[in-house]
Amino acid sequence: MSHEAVPSRRADRERLLTLVQPGTTHVGTGVFARRRLKSGMVLGEIFGQVCDDHPADPSYCMELPSGKVLEPSAPLRFLNHSCDPNCELFYWFDEDDPQVVVEDRLWLQTIRDIEPGGELLIDYCWPADASIRCRCGAANCRGWIVDPDELHLLKDRDPCREETEVAPTRAGDAG
Ligand SMILES: [Zn+2]
Protein backbone atom coordinates (compact mmCIF):
# COMPACT_ATOMS: atom_id res chain seq x y z
CA MET A 1 0.00 0.00 0.00
CA SER A 2 1.32 3.44 -0.84
CA HIS A 3 1.54 5.82 2.10
CA GLU A 4 0.94 8.75 -0.24
CA ALA A 5 -2.13 7.41 -1.99
CA VAL A 6 -4.23 6.90 1.13
CA PRO A 7 -4.29 10.50 2.45
CA SER A 8 -4.89 11.94 -0.99
CA ARG A 9 -7.90 9.70 -1.56
CA ARG A 10 -9.22 10.49 1.88
CA ALA A 11 -8.74 14.22 1.24
CA ASP A 12 -10.62 13.87 -2.04
CA ARG A 13 -13.48 12.13 -0.29
CA GLU A 14 -13.54 14.63 2.57
CA ARG A 15 -13.67 17.47 0.06
CA LEU A 16 -16.54 15.75 -1.76
CA LEU A 17 -18.48 15.46 1.50
CA THR A 18 -18.20 19.24 2.01
CA LEU A 19 -19.82 19.72 -1.40
CA VAL A 20 -22.63 17.16 -1.51
CA GLN A 21 -24.85 15.10 0.76
CA PRO A 22 -27.51 12.42 0.30
CA GLY A 23 -31.16 13.36 0.71
CA THR A 24 -34.67 12.16 -0.04
CA THR A 25 -36.33 12.53 -3.45
CA HIS A 26 -39.61 11.34 -4.97
CA VAL A 27 -37.77 8.27 -6.30
CA GLY A 28 -35.82 7.43 -3.14
CA THR A 29 -32.42 8.78 -2.24
CA GLY A 30 -30.56 11.40 -4.23
CA VAL A 31 -27.45 13.56 -3.98
CA PHE A 32 -27.78 17.26 -3.18
CA ALA A 33 -25.47 20.27 -3.22
CA ARG A 34 -24.43 21.54 0.21
CA ARG A 35 -23.41 24.86 -1.28
CA ARG A 36 -23.39 26.62 -4.64
CA LEU A 37 -21.51 24.56 -7.23
CA LYS A 38 -20.27 26.36 -10.30
CA SER A 39 -20.51 24.84 -13.76
CA GLY A 40 -17.40 22.93 -14.82
CA MET A 41 -16.32 22.02 -11.29
CA VAL A 42 -14.69 18.63 -10.69
CA LEU A 43 -16.52 17.31 -7.62
CA GLY A 44 -14.47 14.19 -7.08
CA GLU A 45 -13.76 10.65 -8.01
CA ILE A 46 -16.45 7.97 -8.02
CA PHE A 47 -15.16 5.52 -5.44
CA GLY A 48 -16.53 2.05 -5.11
CA GLN A 49 -16.05 -1.60 -5.75
CA VAL A 50 -14.97 -2.88 -9.14
CA CYS A 51 -16.96 -5.98 -10.01
CA ASP A 52 -16.19 -8.68 -12.51
CA ASP A 53 -19.66 -10.17 -12.14
CA HIS A 54 -22.87 -8.23 -12.17
CA PRO A 55 -23.70 -7.20 -8.63
CA ALA A 56 -27.01 -7.87 -6.90
CA ASP A 57 -28.46 -4.46 -7.78
CA PRO A 58 -27.06 -3.41 -11.16
CA SER A 59 -29.06 -0.16 -11.20
CA TYR A 60 -26.32 1.53 -9.16
CA CYS A 61 -23.53 0.41 -11.48
CA MET A 62 -21.38 2.58 -13.68
CA GLU A 63 -19.23 1.38 -16.52
CA LEU A 64 -15.53 2.13 -16.24
CA PRO A 65 -13.50 3.16 -19.32
CA SER A 66 -12.13 -0.40 -19.52
CA GLY A 67 -15.67 -1.83 -19.62
CA LYS A 68 -15.43 -3.20 -16.07
CA VAL A 69 -18.34 -2.39 -13.77
CA LEU A 70 -18.01 -0.07 -10.79
CA GLU A 71 -20.49 -0.26 -7.95
CA PRO A 72 -20.13 3.19 -6.34
CA SER A 73 -20.19 3.72 -2.60
CA ALA A 74 -22.30 6.41 -0.92
CA PRO A 75 -23.02 9.21 -1.45
CA LEU A 76 -22.40 9.11 -5.22
CA ARG A 77 -24.09 5.73 -5.55
CA PHE A 78 -27.34 7.69 -5.09
CA LEU A 79 -26.90 9.95 -8.14
CA ASN A 80 -30.21 9.97 -9.98
CA HIS A 81 -30.87 10.18 -13.71
CA SER A 82 -32.21 13.11 -15.67
CA CYS A 83 -32.58 13.56 -19.42
CA ASP A 84 -31.54 17.17 -18.70
CA PRO A 85 -28.60 16.61 -16.31
CA ASN A 86 -26.50 19.15 -14.43
CA CYS A 87 -23.52 16.82 -13.89
CA GLU A 88 -21.62 14.28 -15.92
CA LEU A 89 -19.13 11.49 -15.43
CA PHE A 90 -15.79 11.73 -17.17
CA TYR A 91 -12.38 10.11 -17.32
CA TRP A 92 -9.00 11.17 -18.52
CA PHE A 93 -7.69 9.94 -21.84
CA ASP A 94 -4.49 10.43 -23.81
CA GLU A 95 -4.58 13.76 -25.67
CA ASP A 96 -2.74 12.23 -28.61
CA ASP A 97 -4.98 9.20 -28.82
CA PRO A 98 -8.50 9.37 -27.34
CA GLN A 99 -8.68 5.57 -27.56
CA VAL A 100 -6.01 5.29 -24.87
CA VAL A 101 -7.44 5.47 -21.36
CA VAL A 102 -4.95 6.95 -18.91
CA GLU A 103 -6.61 5.60 -15.77
CA ASP A 104 -9.49 3.24 -15.21
CA ARG A 105 -11.25 5.71 -12.93
CA LEU A 106 -14.42 7.82 -13.17
CA TRP A 107 -14.89 11.38 -12.01
CA LEU A 108 -17.91 13.61 -11.54
CA GLN A 109 -18.14 17.22 -12.68
CA THR A 110 -20.87 19.83 -12.90
CA ILE A 111 -21.99 20.99 -16.34
CA ARG A 112 -24.32 23.70 -15.00
CA ASP A 113 -24.41 25.92 -11.92
CA ILE A 114 -26.21 24.19 -9.05
CA GLU A 115 -27.75 26.16 -6.19
CA PRO A 116 -27.48 25.01 -2.56
CA GLY A 117 -29.99 22.22 -2.00
CA GLY A 118 -30.25 21.45 -5.71
CA GLU A 119 -30.16 17.80 -6.72
CA LEU A 120 -27.18 16.53 -8.70
CA LEU A 121 -28.34 14.61 -11.76
CA ILE A 122 -26.51 12.68 -14.44
CA ASP A 123 -27.63 11.10 -17.70
CA TYR A 124 -27.33 7.33 -17.21
CA CYS A 125 -27.19 6.69 -20.99
CA TRP A 126 -28.13 3.04 -20.54
CA PRO A 127 -28.13 0.76 -23.60
CA ALA A 128 -31.57 0.20 -25.13
CA ASP A 129 -31.81 -3.41 -23.93
CA ALA A 130 -31.35 -2.23 -20.32
CA SER A 131 -33.56 0.85 -20.51
CA ILE A 132 -36.50 1.52 -18.25
CA ARG A 133 -39.16 4.22 -18.37
CA CYS A 134 -38.00 7.67 -17.32
CA ARG A 135 -39.97 9.91 -15.00
CA CYS A 136 -37.38 12.67 -14.68
CA GLY A 137 -39.88 15.39 -15.56
CA ALA A 138 -37.47 17.33 -17.78
CA ALA A 139 -39.04 19.23 -20.68
CA ASN A 140 -36.84 17.23 -23.08
CA CYS A 141 -37.39 13.88 -21.34
CA ARG A 142 -36.73 11.02 -23.77
CA GLY A 143 -39.37 8.85 -22.05
CA TRP A 144 -36.74 6.21 -21.39
CA ILE A 145 -33.54 6.07 -19.39
CA VAL A 146 -31.47 5.28 -22.43
CA ASP A 147 -28.45 6.39 -24.42
CA PRO A 148 -29.71 9.06 -26.89
CA ASP A 149 -27.92 7.17 -29.67
CA GLU A 150 -30.05 4.10 -28.94
CA LEU A 151 -33.38 5.86 -28.45
CA HIS A 152 -34.44 4.97 -31.99
CA LEU A 153 -34.30 1.29 -31.00
CA LEU A 154 -37.21 1.99 -28.63
CA LYS A 155 -39.33 3.77 -31.24
CA ASP A 156 -41.97 1.07 -31.25
CA ARG A 157 -42.25 0.95 -27.48
CA ASP A 158 -44.65 3.54 -26.11
CA PRO A 159 -43.57 4.69 -22.67
CA CYS A 160 -46.31 7.24 -22.25
CA ARG A 161 -49.50 5.34 -22.93
CA GLU A 162 -50.23 4.13 -19.39
CA GLU A 163 -48.48 7.05 -17.75
CA THR A 164 -50.41 9.95 -19.30
CA GLU A 165 -53.81 8.71 -18.13
CA VAL A 166 -52.75 8.70 -14.50
CA ALA A 167 -50.01 11.31 -14.64
CA PRO A 168 -49.52 12.57 -11.10
CA THR A 169 -49.41 16.30 -10.50
CA ARG A 170 -45.90 17.27 -9.62
CA ALA A 171 -45.83 19.83 -6.85
CA GLY A 172 -43.60 22.84 -7.21
CA ASP A 173 -43.09 22.68 -10.97
CA ALA A 174 -45.17 25.72 -11.84
CA GLY A 175 -43.17 28.66 -13.10
ZN1 LIG B 1 -36.27 11.68 -18.63
Each residue of 129-145: pLDDT tens digit? 889 999 999 999 999 99
Residue 102: exposure state from Cβ atoms within 10 A (0-12, 13-18, ≥19)? exposed
The Å distance, Cα 97 to ligand 1 centre, comes to: 33
The Å distance, Cα 134 to ligand 1 centre, comes to: 5
For the domain made up of 5-124, give the CATH fold: Beta-clip-like (2.170.270)
Domain with CATH 2.170.270.10 in the chain: 5-124
The Å distance, Cα 73 to ligand 1 centre, comes to: 24
pLDDT tens by residue, 29-44: 999 999 999 999 999 9
What H or E segment, with its residue span, contains residue 81? strand 80-81
The Å distance, Cα 167 to ligand 1 centre, comes to: 14
Of 83, 161, 149, give the one whose Cα is nearest residue 122. 83
The Å distance, Cα 135 to ligand 1 centre, comes to: 5
Instruction: Per residue of the chain (175 residues), give pLDDT as tens.
Output: 344 445 577 888 899 999 999 999 988 999 999 999 999 999 999 999 988 766 667 778 888 888 888 999 999 999 999 999 999 999 887 778 777 777 889 999 999 999 999 999 999 999 898 899 999 999 999 999 999 999 999 877 765 544 443 444 444 443 3
The Å distance, Cα 121 to ligand 1 centre, comes to: 11
The Å distance, Cα 104 to ligand 1 centre, comes to: 28
